[in-house]
Amino acid sequence: MGTLNPNFEGEAVIVTGATSGIGREIALRFGDAEAAVIVADIEKEPKDAAVPTHEVIVDEGGTAEFVQADVTDCSQLTELVNIARDYGGVDVMINNAGLFIGGSILELDPEEFDQIHAVNARGVYFGTQVAAIDMIDRGEPGVILNTASISSNNAQFDQVQYDSTKGAVRMITRGAALELAEEGIRVNAVAPGQIGTEFIDGWSEEAPEAAKNDDLIKPVPLGRAGTPEDVAGAYLFLASEEAGYVTGDLVSVDGGWQVF
């Protein structure tokens, strides 16, 4: 099977939530593709590896910088874009930072509701906004990619608060794509399925075995849980010229979960 090997030499890529999980793999892949990668996260130390993301990229001969950032703070999102100017300006903005809080709609308290929406929806909205404004100001239209979810289109038990944030990501993506098309800025989202990461405590250990034994709540047609490596390639494709006529889309990377 052939492979897609886009090159992002001379381009700056911001990845939020890039210390661990899917975000880490996205950042590493863009580093391999010769982009200057701004690794943004609240924590520098990864949950699922020994060496911080930006250090791996630099050790392998790439360019990367860690910036501590809370995506619920608009001033910190703006600072990320300002830092990208040291590398020529943001070309690809990846709003990947996310939070999971489960529980019944009968139990969630207002503080938890505000917290998950601040990270998952507000962070994506204003991450999109600050990147788009900077691209327009520089006259350099780029690409904005948001991390959605299978929950963007499908309700799941005890996840209404999470599902609602990912539904918001889908509509932020579509609305922004419509509005920013005249500026030449493409906006898309990737919707991962059941991916084995530390995002949900214990899921990384349980998911592969559950998929193997067909014990998932809803079976994955491809017969296994996904990995961050399965997901990251979609971001490189959507950011590349190969996807130059794709905008406003939500690309599912879920092993066929949404098919039935």
**Catalytic sites, residue numbers:** 162
Please state the separation of Cα 76 from the chain's center in Å.
17
Rounded Cα–Cα distance for residues 69 and 147 (Å): 17
Amino acid at 30: F
User: What single DSSP character describes residue 245?
Assistant: T
Q: Which residue's structure tokens are 């204003």?
A: 126
**What Cα–Cα distance (Å) separates residue 171 from each residue in 152, 183, 252?**
9, 19, 15
36-57 exposure pattern, b = at least 16 Cβ within 10 A, e = fewer: bbbbbbeeeebeeeeebbbebb
**Backbone region of residue 102 per phi and psi (left: phi > 0; alpha: psi in -120 to 50; beta: other values):** beta
Helices 123-138/160-180 angle, 10° precision: 20
Residue 191: phi, psi to the nearest 5?
-115, 90
Amino acid at 227: T
